[in-house]
Amino acid sequence: MDIKAYIESGVIESYVLGMAEAQEAAELQELSRQYPEIKQAIDAFEASLEQTAFANAMAPPSAVKQNLMASLKDDFIQEKPVLPAKQPVYTKHTTEMAPVKSLSWMMYVAAASIILFVVSAALNVYLYKKYDHTNNRYLALLKENTTITADNKVYQTRMLDIYNSMEVMGSPDMIKVALPGINGKENDLATVFWDSKTKDVYVLANNLPKPNDDKQYQLWALVDGKPVDAGMLDDCNGLCKLKNIPRAQAFAITLEKKGGSPVPDLTQLHVMGKVV
């Protein structure tokens, strides 16, 4: 069995995305247990789907804060402070004891005022701490919601790009050209999908080393033995659409200065494949 050709057939991408038929999925699962290369290819594609990016934050609806504060309102319910019961002062019914009764009443009023002041101050401190804690919880939830929303938008965009790429690769009009790595770069791999009707060229960079910031991969079409610029590979999600090539006998990819070159640097040739 040609393991490399099977991996490049697109069945792994269909399986991971849940688009494979039951028989095809069962066959792939069985082969993955027999051939470690297939299992590694499945794991690699799954890992690439999990590396999603982070941008386009969206603020949550204004009702989120109101609902949050309503759900936390019970945290602010406080029991009323219990003041010491006012004890009656028993005096004899004589004119001499009247000043003592008045003084005792004033002492209780002063004590109650002090207690109320202390309780009020403590309650204010407690409520402020509760407010600060609740506000921090709200800000944390708001940040988490914003991050999740942004992640979902990036993930949905990435999945849509991959789905569209799968449709292009599965078209019966596509001519598939495998570009294996040359000597010394055997692990490099790319695939060209050439529309036999429109002559548009698409490239799937299966396994190409990440270039430096000042470098960029360039596709070449070999026409009558001469290299013709077929476009630059950008940071596209999955399949990269390049130039329209009416005819070609082979395709190759070199690593050039960012922006491309009029002629290929053959010392930086990575992959090459003939059109069958």
Residue spans of the domains in the chain: they are: 3-51, 63-162, 174-274
Rounded CA separation 110/5 (Å): 94
Residue 229 has pLDDT above 80, yes or no: yes
193 and 168 in contact (C-beta within 8 Å)?
Answer: yes
DSSP assigned state of 232: E
Q: Does domain 174-274 have CATH number 3.90.1570?
A: no
Tokens at residue 46, please? Answer: 């799954």
CA distances from 83 to 14, 94, 111, 124, 168 (A): 74, 31, 10, 18, 80
Mean pLDDT of the chain: 77
Supply the angle between the helices 36-50 and 98-169 in degrees, to the nearest 10: 130
Of the two residues 137 and 254, the one the predictor is more confident about is: 254
Q: What are the backbone angles phi and psi of residue 230, rounded to the nearest 5°? A: -115, 5
Tokens at residue 250, please? Answer: 């082979």
Residue 15's pLDDT is: 81
Selection from 116-125, 139-148, 213-222 with the highest mean pLDDT: 213-222
Of the two residues 71 and 89, the one the predictor is more confident about is: 71
5 and 176 in contact (C-beta within 8 Å)?
Answer: no
Using DSSP, state whether 158 is helix, strand or coil.
Answer: helix
Residue 140 has pLDDT above 90, yes or no: no
State the pLDDT confidence band at 263, using cuts at 50, 70 and 90: very high
Residue 54's pLDDT is: 40
Question: Can you tell me the mean pLDDT for 211-221?
Answer: 94
Question: Can you tell me the mean pLDDT for 41-58?
Answer: 66
Residue 253 has pLDDT above 50, yes or no: yes
110-119, 176-185, 229-238: the lowest-pLDDT one: 110-119
Residue 55's pLDDT is: 44
